[in-house]
Structures are given as C-alpha cells and as structure tokens.
Structure 1
Amino acid sequence: MGWIREVKDWSQLIWEDWRFRARQPGRWQRMTLRDVPVAPIEELLMRWAGGSVWRGGPQPMPWHPLCPALRHYRGDEPADDPAQQMNSADQWPVESGRLFWCGPIVHHFGHQLGEFGGRILLASLDPRPGQLLFLHPDGDQAFDKLTAWQQAWIRHLNPTNKPVLIRGGGFRAQELVVVPQQQRLGCPPTAQHLRALGRLKRSASSVNEVVVLSRSRYAAGRDQPSLRGSVAGEAALDAWMQRQGARIVYPETLPLKEQLELLHTTQHLIVAEGSALHALELIGRQPDKTVTVIARRPLWPGMESPLQSRFPLLRWIDAVQALHWLSPANPRVKGVAQLDWKQLAAELSERFGWEATANDIQGFEEAANQQLAHLQQTLPIQTQRCTAKDRTPLRAGGW
C-alpha cells in the first residue's frame, strides 16, 4: 500500500540522518559562530590533480566551539582541508551583520547542484534576518554577474528572498550561521530538506508523456572536445525512442527554471546519466513519478540513493559493457560507454511496453560500433571491459 511505503521511506531518511549524526565528533546541528575568518578559495574540485575537493571558506579558530557541521562531506567522509594562507587573518576586515554560510560558487553544473547546494534552502527558511553568503573563486561579485543558471539555482532555493552576498574571502564574519549539509554527495537528503523542497512546488506530476533528457548533443563523443561522458550510439537510441512516442529534450539548451518546471511536471522521465540527475535533486518527493536512468558508467551501490528517496519508482539501467576513453581522463567521468543493447531494450520494453525488433537492436549496435571505430581511428583511445570489480565503490559518496 502506498501509505506504508511512504512511512517506511520517510522513516529510513530519519534513520540515515540519525546514523550519520551519531558518528560525528560533536553535535551535528545548526550553530552560530562569531568572529570567524573566511578564507578565499584555495582549491576546489582538485582531487583529480592531487589537490583538495574543497579548501577555503570559514576557518574555525581554537576558541570556537566544535562545529562539525562546517565540514564538507562526500558520503560519510569529510572531503575538505583547512586553508593554508591564514598568516594575516587577524588583520582581515570585519563583515558585520548576520551571514548564513552557503558554500562556494562552482562553475560545474552537476557539482554545484548536487554537492555544494545542501545548505541554502534551510538557510533561506531560517526566520532570522541576514544574508546568504557564497564564496566566488574570482573575488567579490554582484549577483547579476553570475551565470544565468547559477542565478536561477539560488533563486529556486531562496524562497524567502534573503539578500545574497558573494565575496572572494579574506574577511572575518562577525556572526556566521552554519546550517549542516542537508544533501551530501552520494547520500539521500535529510527528511527536513526533502520536505522543504516539496513545499517549493506542491502540485504533482501532471503531464502524462515520456520525456528523454539526452546528452547526445552536449557529449557527442566523436572528437576530443566532445568526450564528456556519454553512450556510444545514443543518437540512434534517441531516434528510436522518439519513434515510440517519447519527446527528446536537450537539457543544456533550456534555462534552469524551465528545466525544473519540465522535471517537476513530467510523469515519465528517461535520463541519460549526467548532470541532469542533479537537477532532479532540486525536486521534492514524487512517489508516483517514473524516473529511468540510462547509465554511462558501471553503477556503484549508493549512487542511486539521492534519487531513490525522491522517486521510489526509480529504475537505474546499468547495461555498460565497456568504457572507451582518452588518457589521462578518468574513464568514469569522460569515457564513452559501450552498452548491452539487448539488456537495455528489454528493460525499456518492460518499463514502457516498447517493442524493439532485432533490426532495431542491430541498428543500435552498428551506430555505436561506427562511432567507436571513428574514435579509435582518430585518437589514441583506451578500452576497458567492465566487470563486477568496476561496480565496487572506490570513493566516498559513490562518485
């Protein structure tokens, strides 16, 4: 019964949040810190180069109370490092007034929405007045100088229209409110965060059609610049799904506000694995919406949990047989996936009642093979056959 599933799923969210809180060295709660140095961004998403995922931002001093909520987590593990350029911090100017720490501005759509956006909504809903504080890698910025999608993202998560302050760091916050991460990368959201997302839009899915969010234009996978993580033969798959009655959408061509409206109101979504998944994390719980993800890399257990908590009817189709990539890139990030087309067609048929003929499947395989052959003829492409070992998580957060 539906209500039993709802009670079970919400209870699971509460349990997961409690389990995480219980492992922290101090109380995982909203805290107010005073006279806090806020360092410039020193490193951001630099782990691939031997650096830090996040180095900078508010730096608690020895006299501050223990504040684990200030840490940045991936999964259950901290992924931040202390700032190193703090020698003159005692001379930094003071920013007066109450600030709500919201994290860095990131120029990567998926990481901004899915990793560094988990504090904003509850900060906006805090009844106390104050400004939402963001750090920008290029120094102080006016809000209208952000990219259009960054502006839309902040507006979406700021329903109370709190003033926004975008600084480059190198100052001391007179009063800093720290809201814990409500959505850690690779983890389900807190129940409080998910409820708050649901209140942003109360209507349920209303458009009874199948919409496909495709990467076939953004990540065509035919030359070095377009190796952005994709599925070989995706354009042929798109054409076939369109013949079955689905509508193909290229999310990178839509303003974020329009994209969110589409995601919210569409009853049946098929999503090519990519940053569009993180846009779905801006949606509240919709237990009757079907979301189908076509994987472009072997599934690590837990990767599906942020979406599963929002859309219980989620299906993640991992039909990846091999990855093809150009060194030194990470094949899970920028590789081209070779799929088992029979498996994919069977799962789509079970889900939507679509009939894929032997000729259809042969057409997918030929399109994929032609694309891969072109890459191998023009670039020093490497290939890795995927096994069960590739479906074992190697990093915290499932990514």
Structure 2
Amino acid sequence: MSAPVIWGGRLIFHFGHLAAEHLNRIPAALYHRPDAHVAVTLPPGRVVADIPPWLWDMLAWYGVAPSRLLAVTNPIEAEQLFVGPQPEHLGAHPPPAWFLDLLDELPRLNDLRPTPTPVVYVTRQGQPALGNGGHAGEGALVRALGRAGAMVIDPARLPLRAQLEAYAGARHLVFAEGSAVHGRQLLGRLDQEILI
C-alpha cells in the first residue's frame, strides 16, 4: 500500500480490554499522521461485517472513519508504517500527560454535549442473566438511587456517545465494576469523583 498506514492494534470484541489496552495508541499516531489509514487485525474467523456498532463508535471517537480502516486478516505491505506508543495498559503505571492532553481534546473534536448530573450510577443489572458477573440485590440499589435523584444508566443499552455524555456531565460517577469503567478512559481529565 502506498498510502501511509498507522498500526491501530488488535480489534478484540471486548469493550473494556479494547479501550484499556488496544486502541489507545491511535490518537497520538493520528495526531502525527492525520492522513493515514489505520490497520487493525481481526480475531480469527471474523470479517469486517462482524464488527459490532459500539466498536465502530469507539473508532469514530478516535477519528477513524470506516473508509480509513484496514482490517488485516492476511499479510500486507505498506511503504510507510507508523506505530505510536501504547500510552495506557492494565497495570500500575498512569498514562503520560501528553496522552491525557490528546484525550482532553476529543470531547471538543467530537462536539460532545455533557449531561450535567450530580450523580451517575453505571449499572450491571441484567448482566447475570447473560452469563456475566453482577451484584446480588443490585435492582434494589438501582431503585433507591433513582429515588434519590441519581441518573442510572445501563451501558449495554446505550450508544457510546450517550454513555460519554453522561460520564462527562457527572459530578460523581459510580460504576458497578465491569468493562464500562474503561469507557471513562476515552474522556481525559475531568473534575469529578469516580467510585467503583
């Protein structure tokens, strides 16, 4: 391929790991090469049509249009390949300030409209029925928080943009664990309290 290419990472179909460990190298690479295509690998046996909507939303948040995505399932050649650093990963090391500076710009670049709310609770209610982890009695907690005026959101039922608008507008953001926690990493610095 003669056009410049950025290495975007592995597209695993798991929201939390993708946000925390794989796609975060894209913002810095695109900052330096805004004209480049973004190459990613797909899981074995998967094709572009298998990419879930939330994953397209995450790529769009970083500035990757579908037309610029190169889903690699076989070896390719690129005349120019750019590999940005992976600034965030699971572990004890905080992200560098330059990366947070880039993330701080994404809400503006994406024209995000935060929903001002004192408390947002991000539930996992309904996840045990899907075979995923959850919390006993969370339904009672959700009802009590709703009565107390908290905004309760279920990230499994909201598009990524709506989740980010709720997160960005929250003074206190409370997660019931799970992968949705990593959605907050897409926003950069905000003056808010985060509880898990």
For the pair 1:215 / 2:124, whether they are aligned, the reply is yes
| Greater shift in the superposed pair: 208-217 or 168-177 | 168-177
The one-letter code matched in structure 2 to 1:201 is P
- Normalised TM-score (structure 1): 0.44
1:112, 1:106 → 2: CA distance?
Answer: 6
Q: Which residue of 2 aligns with 1:125?
A: 31
- Indicate whether 1:237 and 2:141 are aligned: yes
Aligned 8 A contact 2:118 2:171 in 1: yes
More strand by share: 1
Q: Which of residues 276, 282, 299 in structure 1 aligns to 2:180?
A: 276
1:206/1:232 CA distance change after superposition, 3 Å: closer
Q: Superposition pairs for residues 174-213 of structure 1, below 5 Å?
A: 174-186=79-91, 187-202=93-108, 207-213=116-122
Q: 8 Å contact 2:7–2:84 — kept in the other structure?
A: yes
- Count of aligned residue pairs for this structure pair: 192
CA gap of 1:160–1:251, structure 2 versus 1, over 3 A, is closer
| 1:207 CA drift (Å) | 0.8
Task: Name stretches of at least 5 consecutive residues in structure 1 with no aligned partner.
Answer: 1-94, 294-399
Deviating above 3 A after TM superposition, structure 1's stretches of 4 or more consecutive aligned residues are: 138-142, 159-162, 202-206
Structure 2 residues not aligned, in runs of 5+: none
Q: Determine the structure 2 residue equivalent to 1:171.
A: 76
Matched, 1:255 2:164: no
> Is the CA contact (8 Å cut-off) linking 1:132 and 1:162 kept in structure 2?
no
Greater fraction of residues in helix: 2
In the alignment, the residues of structure 2 paired with residue 160 and residue 108 of structure 1 have an alpha-carbon distance, to the nearest angstrom, of 20
Deviation of 1:263 after TM superposition, in Å, equals 1.2
What SS does the aligned partner of 1:100 have? Answer: strand
With over 3 angstroms needed to count, the CA separation of the structure-2 counterparts of 1:206 and 1:107, relative to structure 1, is closer
1:171 alignment partner AA: I
Shift in alpha-carbon separation, 1:162–1:126, aligned structure 2, 3 A: farther
Q: Give CA deviations for 1:281-306 in whole Å, capped at 9, x if unaligned.
A: 101101x212221xxxxxxxxxxxxx
Q: Sequence identity of aligned pairs in percent? A: 32
* CA gap 1:161/1:253 in 2 versus in 1, 3 angstroms: closer
Change (3 A) 1:206 1:249: closer
Following superposition, the deviation at residue 209 of structure 1 comes to 2.7
Q: 1:150: which partner in 2?
A: 55
**Alignment TM-score, normalising by the size of structure 2:** 0.86
